Amino acid sequence: EAQVTQNPRYLITVTGKKLTVTCSQNMNHEYMSWYRQDPGLGLRQIYYSMNVEVTDKGDVPEGYKVSRKEKRNFPLILESPSPNQTSLYFCASSPLTSGSEETQYFGPGTRLLVL
């Protein structure tokens, strides 16, 4: 089954304790992206990657890191989480086909609480 998986689905942590949220897709997609969803703000893009070893900042990259060492994986790293990073996080992937109507496939989300 074609899908985007995220782990963990729920996470409670404390300020300053490094954490990683994993994202994996089995569709051989070039493009992957991370978003956070907050009430009243919708989804905001954190980072995206056009291919292996190619990453770039989205709208709200501060406090986050990503890496793309393999095509299927795109982990989101919070080196020193703070309470304002409490949010619902979504990973997404897409084939890079210019001009097509292909779109992003989203994972189920990771709910993070930073105390």
Partner 1 sequence: DQQVKQNSPSLSVQEGRISILNCDYTNSMFDYFLWYKKYPAEGPTFLISISSIKDKNEDGRFTVFLNKSAKHLSLHIVPSQPGDSAVYFCAASLGYNFNKFYFGSGTKLNVKP
Which residues are at the interface with partner 1 (CB under 8 A)?
A: 4, 31, 33, 35, 40-45, 48, 50, 56, 58-59, 90, 92, 94, 96, 98-101, 103-109
Rank residues 83 and 108 by Cβ distance to partner 1 and give the closer one: 108
Residue 110 C-beta: closest distance to partner 1, Å: 10
Give the residue among 34, 27, 51, 24 at the shortest CA–CA distance from 102. 27
Rank residues 40 and 69 by Cβ distance to partner 1 and give the closer one: 40
The whole-angstrom separation of Cα 9 and Cα 70 is: 22
Distant-in-sequence, close-in-space partners of 81: CB < 8 Å, separation ≥ 6: 13, 14, 15, 16, 17, 18, 19, 63, 112, 114
**DSSP state at residue 73:** B
Residue 20 C-beta: closest distance to partner 1, Å: 19
Residue 41 C-beta: closest distance to partner 1, Å: 6
